[in-house]
Every structure is written in structure tokens, then in C-alpha cells.
Structure 1
Amino acid sequence: MHEIQIPNGYYQLWLRYLSERGLMPEQLGFSAAQLQQLQHVLSLPLDTQSSYLLFTEVIQHSIQFLDCPQLIFELAAYIQPEHFGVLGYMASRSNSVAEAIQYMMRFSRLVVDGSAAVPMRLYQQQDALYLSWPLVDEKYSLIHEMTFACMVQLATQIFDFQHSPIREIHFAHAARMPVRQYENFYRCKTLFKQAKYQIVLNLDSLTIQPQQADPSLIHLLTKQAEDAIALKPNVDSVLQQVQEMVAQYLRQEENIPSIEFVAQVLCCSVRTLQRQLKQEGTGFKQIIEKERMQRCEQLLIQNLGLSEIAQQLGYSDQSALARAYKAYTGQTLLKAKQALQQGEYEKK
């Protein structure tokens, strides 16, 4: 798994925070090696990306040295569009909250990149909109807090909110400080140790317009963002990305994703995705079936009932699951369950 890369704007935000307090990085007790790394990163253009692990070291050290557990919130108070690079400018000049969210989904790699960076998922339930990320690894919890705080703070600058559009904030990790401090900052209910990271928005907030919408500038910024994305190396092949997305969707949503959803997350058309998969010798339906069967075997080991497994895998009933499994493996579900569970028993 490749290391996460984050915007150099985050480092510059930290430097500005120190500057406002009359401090220099050299005064915070960093090692010579850390200072050398910091000097290199701070010399790079604002819209490039650098190590998340170094940033974690810097922030955790700063929290301890300055005795400031709420440092993330204090950093976010200085956020400006340029700290998010071209994506920040696109959000500030978009025509609505909904359009800004679309740009976030399409160009998220310009902010946080790497194979461990899972694209944001967007879905609606009744009158609420959910922006969602899964928990990949506890070591990335700090970047979620940093990004959530900066996104919310920047949004309040860009959009003229009469009332907060945020209903709830969900974190998958444990709270780093008293929950009331989070709720005072976000001005909404904040939950921890949840199934996933989520920002829950009122649906009627999507039409709110920014104070400086500029469609002509957005056209130029979109071209710039597309060029920047095109220059990035593929973290994984399209086949690997689709396999990982389908497997993750089956685990988290207990259903199968549509090809339209997968194409949207990968920022391409359905036709383009189909062509790319064909070039790799497979198709979307074949990937779905393979990942279903692998997930089926994982659930068989867990001793789940066949009806429940069928439901989680998007089959109409257990008969449909049994037929699909037999056609794919040449083995009945009963024999597969016995063999898999025997294998697990022998491992023990």
C-alpha cells in the first residue's frame, strides 16, 4: 500500500499558524533530520503533495510541544482556498454547494492521493446527503480530522450559510479530546467509533450559492485540474481499482455497486470503463461475480445462513446464490461450506 500524500498547503497552513504566534519551526524542538525534511517540503510549490507520515509527526509533536490538543481546529481557522490547491479555487468559484461537492469527488486525488486513499462516496437518504469514507487504517485518523475541519471551515467562508447545513459529523476512530470541543467547532452532533467517516448535510443546502461564483474561471480551473490528474501515475490498474471497489462495496454496503457508480468514482464514462476493462481481458459482470464468490466464501466461514449471504451479495434468494456458486466453481454451497469450515478448523 503506497503512502498517503497530502497537499503541501497543509504544511503551509501549519507554518502560518506558527508565524501568527511569532514562532519558527526551529523553536519547537524538532530534530535536525525533521527540520531538514520540513525545509524541503516548505520550499515546494503550494499545489504539490508530500508525505502524510511526516505531517503526522509534525502535528503530534506540535500538539505536545505547544500543549494544544485542539491544534487541528486552530489550524483550520487560517484555511484559504489556495491551501487545497486548484480544487480549493474550484470550490470557491463554483455555482452551488452541489457543484463544489461534484468537483471534490472528481478531483480528490489532487488533495489526498495514494492507494490507501479511498474515494469519497455520496448518497442520499430521505432529506439528508451523506459524504462518506471508510476506515482504511487507524494511522490515517489525523488526516480525516484535519480534512474535515478544513473543509467545514472553508465552506463557511465560501458560502453564505444562514444556518449550518451540517447535521452530524461521524468519525470512525476514537475522540482525541472531549467530544464537546468537536461539537463546539462543528456546531452539530459529533459521533465517534462509527462504521465510517461521514459528513451529513441537509439536502436543501445543495442549492446555496457561493459569494464569488465565476463560471468562466471554473472552465479554466477544470482544464487545469484535468491536466494535473492526467499527469499522475496510476496507483493501480483499472482492473485492480474496480476489484477493490467492488470488494469494499460488498463488505460495507452488503450489495453490489452499479457500473455507473464505479465509473463516477473513477471519474470516467461507463463506456470508457468498459473499454479499459476489455483491454485487461475482463468485464464488469465478470468482476462482480468473482468478488461475489470470494465474499460468499468469507461469509460461509463465518457460518452465516445462506439466505443472509444471498441478501448481502445482492441475489434474490438462496437458490439464486446456490446456482451462481455452482456455475462459477462447479461445487455446491453445502460442500464448499463444509470444506471451508474444515480448513479453518484445521488451521486452529
Structure 2
Amino acid sequence: MQELHILNGYFQLWNMYLTEQQLNWRQLAFLTPYQSQLEHVLSLPIDSQSPYSFFSAVMELTRQHLDCPQLIFEMAQFIRAEHFGVLGYMATRCSSVAEALRYIVRFSRLVIDGAEVSPMRMSHQDGEIHLSWPLHDEKYALVNELTTACMARLAKQIFPASLQLLRIQFAHAPQMAHYHYEKFFGCSVIFGYPQYSFVISSDSLDLKSELADPSLMQLLLKQAEEAIASKPRYENALQHLHQQVAESLRLSAQAPKIEQMADELHLSVRTLQRKLQEQGSSFKQVLDAERMKRCEQLLQQGIAFTEIARQLGYSDQSALARAYKASAGQTLMQRKKQLKLNI
């Protein structure tokens, strides 16, 4: 499987932070083993991409040696449109928040790319707009936090004092003291959520940007479309199945059958089963995992246990309770009480 790659703008942002601290990375002893590779990456165009594993290693060393646990937030203070490449420029020149979000969903691969990357999704929920994406592995916590922080900071630059950021939802555990998160984002920050979500008020969708430039947008859109078209296509049946099952549970309020999902993926049932087996999984494992994610979402909405069981295709509430306890290590009632305490 191809390694995750990120935009070189992330490396440039890291370098800008060091420069602002009056530090030269070439003179930092802890980076000596990486100097040749850093020279190469920082010489590349800002909109090209480099391995995330290298960036992660450099970030961890920087955080440790500078004794700066909140490094990502310190870096995000310096975010500019160019650090997100053509997508960053598109966001600044869009006519509204709604248009910016549509392009972020459509062209997110220009920022972070790889077979393990799932497309961002935008959904409307009770007067809120959720820009969401799933957790693939805890090792990507850093890039998820940094990307979210940079998006929040850039959004405030484009739509100053108007954009209502309601909360941030992370799928991983906190990587630093909780107050660092709420201080930076200025809103509620939740961890251990079923997926990552950047949540704003639906009232923000029609906000206009003073920097809107329709003519320039046409040129940027063409550039983005050409860049996406040149990227490889990843065939990941497991990833696609997770997305389809999650969508089916959300829209149909019932557990899908493997025949239905195979049809959605344009595969025979036998081929789908073989592809899942090759990746060490099965339809039952995917369905169980997505049921629990959806269960968590419904619990947070205050839906009754019996209704959750019905929507997830369990025979009764007891069957749901057993499945939840086996997956989460706590009972439904314990989780319900926990959610009430967090309100």
C-alpha cells in the first residue's frame, strides 16, 4: 500500500515557525541526520507532496527538543493560503463558505493523499454543517490535528469574526493538555469521537468573502482538476465498503446486506469477499464496526436504545447492548451517563 503523502506546504510551515523563533534548522543538532532530506524537500515546489512518515519524525524531534507539546498550534498561527497549495488559494477566492467547503471536499487529495485516505464528506445535521473524515490509524493523529488547526485559522482569515466554529471532534485521544485545544480553537473540543468533524453553524454557509475573484477561480479550478486527474486511482475495497456501509446505516436506518454493498461497489459478492479476505477483514467485521460508530452518533443525539437497535438492524435492545459492551468495554447506560456529564 502506498505511503501517505502530504503537501510540502506543511514542511514550509514548519520552517516558517522555526524562522519566527530565530532558529535555523541547519544548525539544530537533533536534525543533523535529516539535513540532506530536508534540503531536498524544502527545495521542491510548495504544492508537491512528500512522505508523511518523514514529516512526522521531524515534527516529533522538534517537539521534544524544543519542549513544545503544543507545536502544531504554534505552527498553525503562521498558516497562509499557499501552504495548502492551489486548494488554499481556491478557498480564499471562493464567493462563500458553502463554495469553499465544496472544493475542500472535492480536492482534498491535493493536500493529503494515499490509499488510506478517505474523501472528506459534508453533511447537514440539525442546523450544523459537519465536514468529516474517518480515523484510519492513531499514527495519523498529528497530521489530523495540524490540518484541522490550519483550516480553522485560515477560515478566520478569510471570513474574519463571522464564521461560527461550533466544535471540533477528534477520533483519537488528546496528544497534549486539553486546555491547549480549547484555547486555540475557541470552542468545544471532543476526543474519541467516531470520526473527525469540523463543525460550523449552517448560518455560516452564505457568508461572503471580500477576497472573492470569479475570474481567478476559473483558472484555479482548471489547475486543480488537472492535478487531480494526474493522480493514481487507489482500489481499496475495504475502505470503500466502510464508506458505503456507513452511508447506508445513516440514510436507510437499517443494516445493509452484502449483496447490496457488492452491487454498490460494482463487484460480485464472491469478489468482494475475496478482496476483504486479502486485507484481513470480512463483511461482518466491517458491518459490526460501522454499526458501533453509528451507535455512538445516535447515542450522542439522545436516541432511545430501542430505536438505535432498530436502526442498526439488531433483533432487540439486548442484542445491541451485548454488541456495544463487547466493542466499547462499557454498557450503553454507562455511556449515556458519560455523555450527560460532558454536556
Same fold (TM over 0.5): yes
Q: Which has the larger radius of gyration?
A: 1
Q: Check conservation: 1:90, 1:100, Cα contact below 8 A.
A: yes
Matches within 5 A, 1:234-273: 234-236=233-235, 240=236, 244-250=239-245, 252=246, 255=249
State how far apart, in whole Å, the 2-side matches of 1:69 and 1:20 are. Answer: 17
The amino acid across from 1:172 in the alignment is A
State how far apart, in whole Å, the 1-side matches of 2:40 and 2:77 are. Answer: 25
What's the counterpart of residue 122 of structure 1?
122
Q: Residue 74 in 1 paired to residue 54 in 2?
A: no
Q: Check conservation: 1:28, 1:65, Cα contact below 8 A.
A: no
Q: Check conservation: 1:160, 1:209, Cα contact below 8 A.
A: no
State how far apart, in whole Å, the 2-side matches of 1:298 and 1:170 are. Answer: 22
State how far apart, in whole Å, the 1-side matches of 2:200 and 2:218 are. Answer: 27
What's the counterpart of residue 10 of structure 1?
10
Q: Check conservation: 1:247, 1:295, Cα contact below 8 A.
A: no
RMSD after superposition:
2.9
Q: Rate the CA distance shift 1:16–1:295 in 2: closer, same or farther, 3 A.
A: same
Q: Rate the CA distance shift 1:76–1:309 in 2: closer, same or farther, 3 A.
A: same
- Alignment partner of 1:136: what SS? coil
Q: Check conservation: 1:299, 1:309, Cα contact below 8 A.
A: no
After TM superposition, where is structure 1 displaced by more than 6 Å over at least 4 residues in a row? 288-293, 297-300, 307-310
- Alignment partner of 1:30: what SS? helix
What's the counterpart of residue 295 of structure 2?
none
State how far apart, in whole Å, the 1-side matches of 2:112 and 2:6 are. Answer: 5
Q: Rate the CA distance shift 1:312–1:11 in 2: closer, same or farther, 3 A.
A: same
Matches within 5 A, 1:160-179: 160-162=160-162, 164-179=163-178
**Unmatched runs of 5 consecutive residues or more in structure 1:** 259-281, 319-348
Q: Rate the CA distance shift 1:187–1:233 in 2: closer, same or farther, 3 A.
A: same
The amino acid across from 1:295 in the alignment is F
What's the counterpart of residue 284 of structure 1?
264
Q: CA deviation at 1:298?
A: 6.8
- Alignment partner of 2:171: what SS? coil
Q: CA deviation at 1:248?
A: 3.5
Q: CA deviation at 1:24?
A: 0.9
What is the total number of aligned residue pairs between the two structures?
281
Q: Rate the CA distance shift 1:289–1:178 in 2: closer, same or farther, 3 A.
A: same
What's the counterpart of residue 34 of structure 2?
34
Q: Check conservation: 1:170, 1:198, Cα contact below 8 A.
A: yes
What's the counterpart of residue 229 of structure 1?
228
State how far apart, in whole Å, the 1-side matches of 2:286 and 2:223 are. Answer: 44
Q: Rate the CA distance shift 1:297–1:308 in 2: closer, same or farther, 3 A.
A: farther
Q: CA deviation at 1:310?
A: 8.5
State how far apart, in whole Å, the 2-side matches of 1:100 and 1:116 are. Answer: 24
The amino acid across from 1:131 in the alignment is L
- Alignment partner of 1:207: what SS? coil
The amino acid across from 1:79 in the alignment is I
Q: Rate the CA distance shift 1:133–1:67 in 2: closer, same or farther, 3 A.
A: same
Q: CA deviation at 1:137?
A: 0.4
- Alignment partner of 1:142: what SS? helix
Q: Check conservation: 1:167, 1:201, Cα contact below 8 A.
A: yes
Q: Rate the CA distance shift 1:70–1:244 in 2: closer, same or farther, 3 A.
A: closer
State how far apart, in whole Å, the 1-side matches of 2:134 and 2:47 are. Answer: 26
Q: Rate the CA distance shift 1:44–1:299 in 2: closer, same or farther, 3 A.
A: closer
Q: Check conservation: 2:241, 2:265, Cα contact below 8 A.
A: no
Q: Rate the CA distance shift 1:215–1:288 in 2: closer, same or farther, 3 A.
A: farther
State how far apart, in whole Å, the 1-side matches of 2:105 and 2:159 are. Answer: 19
Q: CA deviation at 1:286?
A: 5.2
What's the counterpart of residue 149 of structure 1?
149
Q: CA deviation at 1:28?
A: 2.6
Q: CA deviation at 1:288?
A: 9.2
Q: Check conservation: 1:107, 1:229, Cα contact below 8 A.
A: yes
State how far apart, in whole Å, the 2-side matches of 1:161 and 1:199 are. Answer: 17
Q: CA deviation at 1:123?
A: 1.1
State how far apart, in whole Å, the 2-side matches of 1:288 and 1:208 are. Answer: 45
Q: Rate the CA distance shift 1:298–1:149 in 2: closer, same or farther, 3 A.
A: closer
State how far apart, in whole Å, the 1-side matches of 2:83 and 2:285 are. Answer: 45
The amino acid across from 1:177 in the alignment is M
Q: Check conservation: 1:28, 1:62, Cα contact below 8 A.
A: no
- Alignment partner of 1:255: what SS? helix
